[in-house]
Chains A and B, each alone.
Chain A
Amino acid sequence: MKVGAPPRLELVGVSKSFPGVRANDSVNLRVKPGEIHALLGENGAGKSTLVKMIYGILAPDEGQIVFDGAPTRISNPRAARRLGIGMVFQHFSLFEAMTVLENIALGLDARLSQRDLLAEFHRVLDAYRLKLDPRRIVSTLSVGERQRIEIVRALLLNPRLLIMDEPTSVLTPQEVEQLFETLRRLAASGCSILYISHKLHEIVALCDTATILRGGKVVGTADPKRENPRSMAEMMIGASLKEIAKPAERSFGPPKLETLDLSLPKPTEFGVALKGVTLCVRAGEIFGVAGVAGNGQNELLSALSGETPSAAESVILLGEGVGRLSVTERRELGLCAVPEERNGHAAVGEFSLTDNASLTGRNRMDFVSFGLINSGKATSYAAEVIGAFTVKATGPGALAGSLSGGNLQKFIMGREILQQPAALVVCQPTWGVDAGAAAAIHQAIVDLAARGSAVLVISQDLDELLTLSDTIAVINLGALSKPMTVGEVSIEEIGLLMGGVHGDPAGTAQMTEQLHAHPA
């Protein structure tokens, strides 16, 4: 880096308030040219607000944004792109019903002809060795491919600063490596990268500098190569991180939840058919199901929870075939489930926490007599959940939709766990949840298993599964791999199964080669 070159981006005393919240409080930040700069912080620390101001979606209340040495006002995303700022969103800003190329065209301000656009598109793909079919409809693509659209869209602008918002949360380890390769190549060509993540080992592997935010303020700057993930995590949450207490040398009881050759047809055009899923979760065991999004995870959850009925003997709870039973009947027998989508599936946003507690707990917790809900019991149960799981809410009367993602997730998990289910199935228990809440949820899952419940955790976060599970299996295209014991299996093996290359020697060889080239 040239001495004396102005920073690519400098924020001086940037503040932003929303009614009741000071989202950013005089934030200073400096990103050098060609630097990969991490922005670390828990949910609600103000990272999103900050990058929205850099990208022109929000306007700062106070402070100065300096780009390439010149103070600027970035009034909208278009102005940001004109300066050379690109952004890849955490929740992709894609249009599902449209083609890849249409999506790309929408992200560009220049009016290119179809042919010029296609040529530019291929130029970027070649330059960064990416693969993407321009004619495919987005809804048919994997999450990794969707992210690639966003990246190509940003790269077409020849950005001088690229903002990546939690880019790896949904990728396989191999896809993450490919992404890092692309980002390193981009940084080497002089583009600065502002990388937002809560996955600390990735920041250690990728970033040159890290700025840590807490409660809207910068609490520190670190060199990730010299710090370890733990110390950065502690700066991030402002307290020492609790280790998940998991009793070593655990023994398991009899099988509690089993599936036997569970097969179901595709529920919708874009769904996934389940193909002969067989698994067994014993009392006290945490069974992890890994896999890239859209490989049958939601279908498996629906089949277990009872939303999708199956052959009676293909789902077995405590030795009894329950495949034909409804959700409510399964709950009464002790099989509770937490689906991935918090709002609208696991909880009703417009209902109070008490009503949400009644929705799943009414029978097991005895709220109902003569068809009437005992609202006193329901309220005290909701209060119990709020207390036991330190849910930040104004009380049992608070609307579920008013809670932050992490708090709502804690409430939902608590609502099921306090019912003491014989078996609990959870999908993405800590998706979009900050580190503190995630640790609490993990501990609660471990404790539930320790009390003798069988727990099945479906997640795309491999770190989470490796920390929690005793046994792990990979779901790919609706088929479940053989269960493997955590601790005896390598990340590479799991990654290969997630990529679905078993039975495909050429694909396996290629992936192995890539892995050796960039050891994870």
Chain B
Amino acid sequence: MNIGFIIDALVTIIGVTTPILLAATGELVVEKSGVLNLGVEGMMLIGAVTGFAVTLNFGDSLGDWAPWVGIGAAALAGAASSMLFAFLVLSLGSNQVATGLALAIFGIGLSSLIGASYVGTVIAPFNQVFPDWLAEDPIGRVAFGHSPLVYFALIMVVAVGYFLNRTRAGLILRAVGENDISAHSIGYPVVAIRYAAVAFGGAMAGVGGSYFSMVITPMWAEQMTAGRGWIALALVVFSSWRAGRLLVGAYFFGILMTLELYAKASGFSFLPSQFWAAMPYIMAIVVLAVMSARDVAGSEAPACLGRPFMPNS
């Protein structure tokens, strides 16, 4: 195994990890506030198609800024779709699991509809922020050869960890997820805080989705996130709702997914490639099963996760 191969593998791992890390970081904040939004997959797809469409349609007029505007639009679209969920769940008190699943399916459908006319179109990929001499250095490219979104994802997971554990606002957000009734009786605006958390989660999922249509393959294809939104959800549980473990877990899944790509490419013949493709999902199930058997998942989850809160009833 030569050094080039290892560098290639590392670059791939970082690439496949980034979208799930982005989406999971957002979902971590949502769940810490006590809301379970299962619609991550749908929000990612809406972000993916929006980012792509904006970059494609405004590419000429915006020039170099087009992908940045595209990412911003993806974040806004993700947040907007999450507000639909938030309104149903937080203002009308609908069931979070059912509404989240509906959002996932809605996102798949809506993104296909919007994207129908874009299938087969290509845009310039949004990678590499650093100058060529750094980004194309045979070794240095592990650190410097990535899309800005890779660095953004890493900054965000650290920032969210700091926010949750070190700031007063983060403390209040955790308090809302831990005991909404108490937080309300102390005088914190539970519903408003949850709206904000859900919007943040939606924006992060949107950005995570845009990574597929703007970085990995700079084109639109239906359901191009291929279930990574579900992996992001599993990852939040896997991390026992901690930002540090979320980062480690994201890379663990990233490695599993890279294994699939390499297994296909190098023609590992002793197992069919479908097995490798299924691997991350199988691992997600195994991890969740093991953790719930040890009752770790249950005891570390925010106590109000998924429970409706209607202050005036």
- Residue B57 interfacial (CB < 8 Å): no
In the assembled complex, how far is the CB of residue B242 from the closest CB belonging to chain A, in whole angstroms?
A: 12
Which B-chain residue is minimally distant from A269 (CB atoms)?
Answer: B299
Chain B residues in the interface with A (C-beta under 8 A): 168, 171-172, 174-175, 178-179, 181-183, 185-188, 295, 299, 302-303
A sample of 14 inter-chain contacts (CB < 8 A) reads: A77-B187, A78-B187, A89-B182, A93-B183, A93-B186, A96-B178, A98-B174, A98-B178, A105-B171, A106-B183, A106-B188, A107-B186, A268-B295, A269-B299
Alpha-carbon distance A269/B182, docked complex (angstroms): 24
Please report the number of residue pairs spanning A and B whose Cβ atoms sit closer than 8 angstroms. 48
A76 touches B187 (CB 8 A): yes
Q: A105-B171, A106-B171, A111-B168 are in contact. Are A97 and B303 (CB under 8 A)?
A: yes
Q: Are B175 and A98 in contact (CB under 8 A)?
A: yes
**Which chain B positions have C-beta within 8 A of A76?**
187
Most buried by B among A92, A93, A111: A93
Tell whether A56 is near chain B: CB-to-CB under 8 Å: yes
B303 touches A102 (CB 8 A): no
Question: Is A57 engaged at the interface, CB distance under 8 Å to the other chain?
Answer: yes
| Nearest residue, chain B, Cβ from A105 | B171
- Whether B187 contacts A56 by the Cβ 8 Å rule is yes
List residues of A whose CB falls within 8 A of some B CB: 56-57, 76-78, 81, 89, 92-98, 102, 105-107, 111, 268-269
Excluding A106-B171, A268-B295, 11 further A-B contacts by CB distance (< 8 Å) are A57-B185, A77-B187, A89-B182, A89-B185, A93-B182, A93-B186, A98-B171, A98-B174, A106-B172, A106-B186, A269-B299
Which residues from chain B contact A93 at a C-beta distance below 8 Å? 179, 181-183, 185-186
Kindly state the separation between the CA atoms of A107 and B175 in the bound complex, as whole angstroms: 11
Residues on the B chain within 8 Å of A77, using CB: 185-187
Q: Which residues of A contact B187 (CB under 8 A)?
A: 56, 76-78, 81
Q: In angstroms, how far is the closest chain B Cβ from the Cβ of A112?
A: 10
- The distance in angstroms between the C-alpha atoms of A78 and B188, with both chains bound, is 9
Report chain A residues within 8 Å CB of B188: 106
Interchain CB contact under 8 A, B303 and A105: no
Bound CA–CA A93/B181 (angstroms)? 7
For the complex, what is the distance from the CA of A107 to the CA of B171, rounded to whole Å? 11
- Please give, as numbers and ranges, the residues of chain B lying within 8 Å of A96 by CB-CB distance: 178-179, 303
Q: Which residues of chain B are near A78, meaning CB under 8 Å?
A: 187
Q: How far is the CA of A111 from the CA of B303 in the complex (A)?
A: 25
Q: How far apart sit A105 and B167, CA to CA, in the bound complex (Å)?
A: 11
Q: How far is the CA of A98 from the CA of B187 in the complex (A)?
A: 18
In contact, A95 and B182 (Cβ under 8 angstroms): yes
Q: Give the CA-CA distance A431 to B74 in the complex, in Å.
A: 53
**B171, B175, B186, B302: which has the most chain A beta carbons within 10 Å?**
B186
* Cβ–Cβ < 8 Å partners of A105 in chain B: 168, 171
Chain A residue contacts of B302, Cβ below 8 A: 97
Which residues of A sit under 8 angstroms from B182, Cβ to Cβ? Answer: 89, 92-95
Bound CA span A76–B181, Å: 15
